[in-house]
Amino acid sequence: MELEGERMIDQPRVGIGAIPFASRGDLGLDKMRVVQCALSRICGVCAQTLDRPVVFLGSEQEAARNAFWFPPTHRSCAEHALRTWARDWPASMGQREPVARWVMVATSGFEFVRPTRELVDRRPTFAPNSLVEELPLPA
Ligand SMILES: [Zn+2]
């Protein structure tokens, strides 16, 4: 029984349900919640306040252009998301196509980039703005 308690320490925090907080499952991301995550600095998976650094989980392409769809998360939450949803259900993480390789990056800050009218893809993105470090993916 005591092991049960200890194991909880490494688990993502409360608020995790069948889908990430910022997700509408097959429908992709919940726009209102994405904005809420950005403005309130809460985690896109568990909806709790973020610490620094924050972690972004996305495709290689997102990492390359420094623009992530999914809101910032805790590191443990990003790892939980990767294991639980990302690999088998990329739509729930805001992906419209299969993801060949997921990337997890840590950063101490980010900018929330709202789409401009000219853009075809009108989803907001998150741009890490400092000390980006790629993290190893959990097994
Ligand atoms: Zn979290």
Supply the pLDDT for residue 1: 38
Supply the pLDDT for residue 138: 85
Handedness of CA 120, 89, 80, 34 (dihedral sign): positive
How far is the centre of ligand 1, averaged over its atoms, from the C-alpha of 74 (Å)?
4
What CA–CA distance (Å, rounded) separates 92 from 30? 10
Residue ranges near ligand 1 (ion) with Cβ within 5 Å: 43, 45-46, 74, 77
Supply the pLDDT for residue 121: 80
How far is the centre of ligand 1, averaged over its atoms, from the C-alpha of 17 (Å)?
12
Structurally, the chain folds into a number of domains equal to: 1
How far is the centre of ligand 1, averaged over its atoms, from the C-alpha of 42 (Å)?
8
Supply the pLDDT for residue 15: 55
With a cut of 50, list the residues of the chain below it in pLDDT: 1-11, 13-14
Domain that holds residue 20: 2-135
Supply the pLDDT for residue 7: 45
Supply the pLDDT for residue 5: 44
